[in-house]
Amino acid sequence: MFVDEIDVFVKGGDGGAGCISFRREKYVPRGGPDGGDGGAGGSVILEADPSITTLLDFHYQRHYTAERGQHGKGSNKQGASGADTVLRVPLGTMVSERDGRLPLGDLTVPGERLQVARGARGGRGNARFATSTNRAPRRADLGRAGEERWVHLELKLLADVGLVGFPNAGKSTLISAVSAARPKIADYPFTTLTPQLGVVAHGDRRPFVVADIPGLIEGAHRGAGLGHRFLRHLERCRLLLHLVDPTAPGRDPVADIRVINRELARYRVELSTKPQILVVTKVDALQDEAPLKRIRAYASRAGVACFPISAVTGRGLPALLGAVTDALAQLPSP
């Protein structure tokens, strides 16, 4: 199961109570108060872990509480502080308050931490209340309650390149041909139900990460097909590879290109303005060159690079990967 959005309840540990105690020792008259302070409660902390790719663990457990502080003791002994609760989340996790969606942080660096619920401080023991006029105080503070809140976790995959297109446009075949990713491949629509990541190494150039997003269809913004559910994972991509299948019977490939771009714009305008490269797939099975000519003419008018490829035979893949690495080198890092 791929989980990329979830609400979680977090609570910092309560502080320990202060102690009321008086020194009782032979030959020491008027020992005085010696109650220690309570320990501080632990905090709930999120930590970015590159080995995790989904928020699935939080699907099974929604409530997390840090350890409370221990109570103070006599002889001025302070209670032990509670341990922090560290929750590991995938890279690219955005954290916000559930109510009002106030942003709290964005975990994009391995090992980066974010405190989402602070532990409370412990109460003061009676030794802290001794004065020149009140040498035997019989009061102490209770520990305070830890901070608690519902937080919203939203995963946006960190990838350099995003693959978009209609179902069965060849996205999964392409990512399996250029990387070690092995998504499900079949000859029916919506084979890919969750985003897939693959690392691509081309020659001696710097490797880049590709994200295969489930296919879009017209009306996705209204929930048709899989809707826009997974388009958030394209928001961090620097470059989009727009795959189009010229062999699809009864379809106009240029119209398909316009439909996908329209759906991207309806989800978020910024997606439709990202740099794109048109990738014409399955050219090994193309019987008529007319669709390819129409796509090239459209790409020329739109000022977009166009690469015919066959992920099965490898035709055109070196040229495409070279163009991708060149484009990424010119684009700013995220």
Q: What is the pLDDT of residues 163-175, one digit of tens each?
A: 988 888 888 888 8
Among 49-53, 68-72, 185-189, 192-196, the range scoring the smallest mean pLDDT is 185-189
- Closest by alpha carbon to 144, among 68, 76, 86, 67? 68
> Are 148 and 220 part of one and the same domain?
no
**pLDDT of res. 4:** 80
**Sorting pLDDT into bands at 50, 70 and 90, what band is 190?**
very low
**pLDDT of res. 186:** 47
Average model confidence (pLDDT) for the chain? Answer: 87
Residue ending a domain, choose from 139, 155, 171: 155
The reported pTM is 0.77
**pLDDT of res. 223:** 54
Instruction: Give the domain range for residue 286.
Output: 161-330
Residue 186 DSSP class: -
Residue 308 has pLDDT above 90, yes or no: yes
**pLDDT of res. 229:** 67
User: pLDDT digits over 7-18, tens only?
Assistant: 999 999 999 999
Name which residue leads in pLDDT, 288 or 15: 15
> Are 142 and 176 part of one and the same domain?
no
- Angstrom distance (rounded) from CA 18 to CA 124: 5
39 in Cβ contact with 14 (< 8 Å): no
CB atoms within 10 A of CB 27: 4
Supply the CATH number for residue 139's domain: 2.70.210.12
> Are 295 and 208 part of one and the same domain?
yes
Residue 225 has pLDDT above 60, yes or no: no
Residue 220 has pLDDT above 70, yes or no: no
SS3 of 324, please?
A: helix
> Are 72 and 214 part of one and the same domain?
no
**pLDDT of res. 286:** 83
